[in-house]
Chain A
């Protein structure tokens, strides 16, 4: 059972465009939702995260939108750059487990 579903699997965006990656979860006990960025040959690294009592969080060109009633959240990358080309993972966790449950990942390619 996939607890966190992520889409699309892959995404191609032109430089300067907006990249949007969506995630949906089932477990209402999840109470923290980080996004990780992974470059080829590297380990994932935390990009941005949100708690469900907030509907939006912005850090630079990266924004998380959160819809608690729909159990969905998404990552928006504004003014996408070729250097943003990477695999992005949404994740979810609960305070009493410490376990990160990852989505399937989205491979983003930003074309110059």
Chain B
């Protein structure tokens, strides 16, 4: 069983469209994250939820809106997609938030290409 899964794996869309990426973890963790990895492989945190509550909200355009229906799921909705949104988006989870030595477990990534 995949610990952290994301759908879709690939997403190709036109500029201006709205799209969603879904993430599910079956590890029983309380905390989930969204990261963006750009074309140069730079990884940057976007959001984090702890037990459905937003705890990290980095400087991200408000076109990006995370939603956590329960602590096992964290979705990312992107409005009015722009060319610069093309990247790989990774979901991750950890047992607890704000615990220094918590391991974050990453999903396989969603490769988004905006044309």
Could you list which residues of chain A lie within 8 angstroms of chain B, going by C-beta atoms?
Answer: 31-32, 34, 38, 41-46, 49, 51, 87, 89, 93-102, 104-105, 107
- Of B12-20, B60-68, B69-77, B97-105, the one with at least 4 CB within 8 A of chain A: B97-105
Q: In whole angstroms, how far apart are the Cα atoms of A31 and B101 in the complex?
A: 10
What DSSP secondary structure best describes chain A's contact surface?
A: loop
Q: Does B45 contact A (CB under 8 A)?
A: yes
Per a CB cutoff under 8 Å, which of A31, A45, A87, A99 touches B56?
A99
Besides A32-B100, A45-B106, A100-B104, 5 other CB < 8 A contacts?
A34-B103, A43-B4, A46-B103, A87-B41, A98-B102
Q: Please name the residue on chain B nearest to A32 by beta carbon.
A: B100
Flag if B98 contacts A95 (CB, 8 Å). Answer: yes
Would you list 22 pairs from A and B whose C-beta atoms are within 8 A, ordered by A residue?
A34-B103, A38-B41, A41-B108, A42-B108, A43-B92, A43-B106, A43-B107, A44-B106, A45-B105, A87-B41, A93-B100, A95-B98, A95-B99, A97-B98, A98-B56, A98-B102, A99-B56, A100-B45, A100-B104, A101-B45, A102-B42, A105-B42
Q: In whole angstroms, how far apart are the Cα atoms of A105 and B98 in the complex?
A: 24
A105 contacts across to B, CB distance below 8 A:
40-43
Q: In whole angstroms, how far apart are the Cα atoms of A89 and B108 in the complex?
A: 16
Q: In whole angstroms, how far apart are the Cα atoms of A32 and B103 in the complex?
A: 11
Q: In whole angstroms, how far apart are the Cα atoms of A42 and B105 in the complex?
A: 12
Q: Does B90 contact A (CB under 8 A)?
A: yes
B44 contacts across to A, CB distance below 8 A:
102
Q: In whole angstroms, how far apart are the Cα atoms of A101 and B108 in the complex?
A: 19
Q: In whole angstroms, how far apart are the Cα atoms of A43 and B23 in the complex?
A: 13
